[in-house]
Amino acid sequence: MKRGIAYASAAYLLWGVLPVYFKTLQQVGALEILGHRIVWSLAVCTLLLLALGRWQWLSELGRQPRVLLWFATSSALVAANWYVYIWAVNADHVVDASLGYFINPLVNVLIGAAFLHEQLRRTQWLAVGVAALGVAWLTWQGGALPWIGLTLALTFSLYGLLRKTAALGPIEGLTLETLLLTPPAAIYLLWLVHTGQSGFADGDGVTRLLLLAAGPVTAVPLLLFAAGARRIRFSTLGLLQYLGPTLQLLFGVWLYQEPFAERAAGYAMIWLALAVFSVEGLMQGWRWRASA
């Protein structure tokens, strides 16, 4: 239990400090950073599979076109999520990006009801309604939908839905996703080099090392999360997941001086919704264990 909490906490803490990593690459375009993240993540996953000797699933893919289609869709969703997040951080929208991961649990609930026919309890509907009021406030205050947060929440929730019902494990799934994304990513990176626009080829040694680190930066938190999720209760995991967006919000407000005061009321409503949602989930879990 303690080891599982440590693994999961480490994963969320690493995700929480991602803005600092991407800010150090602000001189590189978001699409190029995405390309490096894809290519070097595939390299890390390949090394892991070589070390574990888990390659038999690759030979079976030719007979499973539905699995390929499934992961082609999930790879498109994760690429969209990664790109929007990288762009948001480097365009000084760290606070907006944190919103996506605050409301992600509530979007998961709605997607579970829509696609998995999961029944929502009244308190869960209340939490969703309060969060919707928070989003409405942010829309009114900003004059437009908070599209960055909503896009991140929706793409990550749909990605989670596909991975929940996928036929491959975490490492194998990420390997296949990055394998499908690598050809266009590699072509784009080579085109940047050919046209003299490559931040990697033209950058200094620190920039090159940071871009090479995109693989471990992506893979290590995912592996820690998978290891932690197997060892602790889902309710505990649900509470720990707020570490990431909380750190992102703190970095955005205190380190990068992004405006927040005028948006505080909207965020407060979303935090209230998350508190209602989390407490209701804990109480439901206690009642279930008591009856069992």
Residue 81 · residue 155 · CB < 8 Å: yes
CA pair distance 255, 253, nearest whole angstrom: 6
Q: For residue 248, what are its two tokens? A: 């992102």
pLDDT of residue 15 exceeding 80, the answer is: yes
Residue 106: closest CA among 263, 251, 269: 269
Q: How far apart are CA 50 and CA 213, in angstroms?
A: 19
Q: How confident is the model at residue 234 (pLDDT cuts 50, 70, 90)?
A: low
Task: Compute the average pLDDT of residues 205-221.
Answer: 93
- Is the confidence at residue 12, as pLDDT, over 70? yes
Instruction: State how far the Cα of 54 lies from the Cα of 79, in Å rounded to an integer.
Output: 25
- Chain-centroid distance, C-alpha 92: 18
Residues 98-125: tens digit of each pLDDT:
999 999 888 888 888 888 777 888 888 8
Which pair of tokens denotes residue 102? 């605050």
Tens of pLDDT, residues 17-70: 999 999 999 999 999 999 999 999 999 999 999 988 888 888 777 777 888 888
Which pLDDT score, from 0 to 100, does residue 235 have? 59
Reported as a single tens digit per residue, the pLDDT across 123-174 is 888 888 999 999 999 998 888 889 999 999 999 889 888 887 777 888 888 8
80 confidence band (pLDDT: 50, 70, 90): very high
What is the CB-side half-sphere exposure of residue 149 using CA atoms within 13 A?
A: 30
Do 245 and 156 form a contact (C-beta atoms < 8 A)? no
Could you give the 3-state DSSP secondary structure of residue 231? coil
Instruction: Write the pLDDT tens digit of every residue in 253-271.
Output: 999 999 998 899 999 999 9
Does residue 1 have a pLDDT over 80? no
DSSP 117: -
- What does the pLDDT read at residue 241? 83
Tokens of 198: 């490559």
More confident residue, 144 or 232: 144
Confidence of residue 93 (pLDDT cuts 50, 70, 90): very high
**What's the CA gap between 169 and 164, in Å, rounded?**
10
